[in-house]
Structure 1
């Protein structure tokens, strides 16, 4: 019997996969149906096998969806309507950071500045990325991280996973020898003395997502960002922080997204 249907985009690795593992291991897992919406189906099948290996009785299905592609998102939305009569929870987790670059000079300058903690906690000033353009004519990061999810017609709470060590994080320094990452890990754990945003593990980074699973939507603050945080002793918790949001600017952005959505649906779909 299915009591709750949960859709997770970008569920084949990192925080998305950690979220699925935590949901299936929770006390509310009975009757839970997980739908993993992924771009890479080979990795999606591997993720599903791993989840079923740990939870043999779980209900886990796969959905092909590339949030950078308008046609893929619309096709996936139609398939969801055919498969399920409802979605109880939707986690808009898919995202990319294409060609991340690490500015070594900015890093060393930041080490001896008053913003060193902010630099470590957020990567501000030391990380850049080279964006591309999708076949639909949209900026790749915008399409994948935002507009593809917007096309699903959903509203969501905003979460921040903190600084998490995933394949995306390791990819920032692709030529960095593996043993140096091992040597750096104690330093990263030590930084927790100064900032609680170093969640480090995907399990900890998914804390706010799991917390939201247990909340009533009407009690959530639409102007709050829900942060996954970890204490010095490794205790994970969730804390809401008000976003610095200008309502007029937000409304203008929303109106532009609606216009773009209407235009996208009128245009011939790129193959």
Structure 2
């Protein structure tokens, strides 16, 4: 039976590399769906995949994880297209307006924390977040909340039916949620009383730590139904997100830095560098039995100094109490934003309704 795989943020970087690796293993037994915000780029990615794998089944789905209405519409479309999902890769993510702290960087070069600094960006990256059209913080909405809605949010509060749960929790089969987290996911950046990170300067780190917590909560609630959640870390990968950290760097400077990065790999295997290597843990999880995985482990893509790829589980700095509290707050927020969305739809319908008798 064909396996149905949906990947968010699949038009470039690690998401696209994962799709290529999946199709390289199996083109006949796989239905692949690329869920992307930019359909022009998604079509280009699909064409590239089909050029390499002409017999592959590759579909497109328009979805912007930062938009509540877009996610709800996409989830409904998935339920119409497929009677189940075997794998849902929650990979889309942004780090807008990253600010590189040059002073902290040079201080870190001469400290005992230098390897950690390079591997995780700790202490040298800050971001300026903004509010989206739904009134939510953009990083929180894109990296965490949109994926939460897609995977587990209620499609109907009255019916208690979740967006993709009837599709994911298919009788007699297991399904996997797989989150792309980060080594930049730090407990210190996350505040349970400020889950959207409105008062901080590390919204990316906060959102990724929240995804680690949420994965644990999802396992607590849905393992008995055959739905399992896992978290991966792709390592330090050269993607558009990485290049966006230092957008003013000329191309030749990046070329000069690459040998340095290769050298650093001799000391830390987290420098995977290429999207293909970074997708190692995502691909590895595809081949595992989810019920045998550790729900409190983050599965790291690692590359040795000799260029060999492998996956290694490492315990996450998370706890059940905080994960459950976050889950409950996200459910509450989901209820609030759905209510606001309904009100907007009613106002829009009223504004576009025909004028009544006697009006001029």
Shorter-chain TM band: over 0.9
Q: Does 1:220 align with 2:293?
A: yes
Partner of 1:160: 233
Is 1:169 equivalent to 2:253 in the alignment? no
Kindly provide the CA deviation profile for residues 134-192 of structure 1, in whole angstroms up to 9, marking residues without a partner as x.
11111111100001000123442111000000111111111101011111111100001
Pick aligned residue for 1:259 from 329, 332, 350: 332
Deviation at 1:61, TM superposition (A): 0.5
What's the counterpart of residue 215 of structure 2? none
| More RCO (CA 8 Å, sep 6+) | 1
C-alpha distance in 2, partners of 1:188/1:147?
33
Q: Which residue number in structure 2 is paired with residue 248 of structure 1?
A: 321
Report what 1:61 is aligned to: 59
What are the ranges of 5 or more consecutive residues in structure 1 without an aligned counterpart? Answer: none
Q: Distance in 2 between matches of 1:138 and 1:210?
A: 32
Q: Counterpart of 1:226 in 2: which secondary structure?
A: strand
RMSD: 1.2
Matched with 2:86 is: 88
Does structure 1 retain, via aligned residues, the 8 Å contact 2:236–2:272? yes
Query: Aligned residue pairs: how many?
Result: 269
TM-score, scaled relative to structure 1: 0.97
Corresponding residue of 1:6:
5
Separation in structure 2 between the aligned mates of residue 3 and residue 33 of structure 1, nearest angstrom: 7
Give how far 1:268 is off: 2.1
With normalisation by structure 2, the TM-score equals: 0.73
Question: In the alignment, is the contact (CA less than 8 A) between 2:98 and 2:127 conserved in 1?
Answer: yes
1:196 Cα deviation from its structure 2 partner: 0.8
Q: 1:233 aligns with which of 297, 303, 306?
A: 306
2:100 corresponds to 1:102: yes
Indicate which of 140, 143, 161 corresponds to 2:141.
Answer: 143
Unaligned runs of 5+ in 2: 153-217, 219-228, 346-360
Q: Distance in 2 between matches of 1:133 and 1:221?
A: 35
In 2: Cα distance, 1:247 partner to 1:5 partner: 30
Aligned to 1:204: 277
Q: Which runs of 4+ in 1 moved over 3 A?
A: none
For 1:179-236, what per-residue CA distance to the aligned partner results, in whole angstroms no more than 9, with x for missing partners? 1111111110000111110000000000000000001111111111110011110101
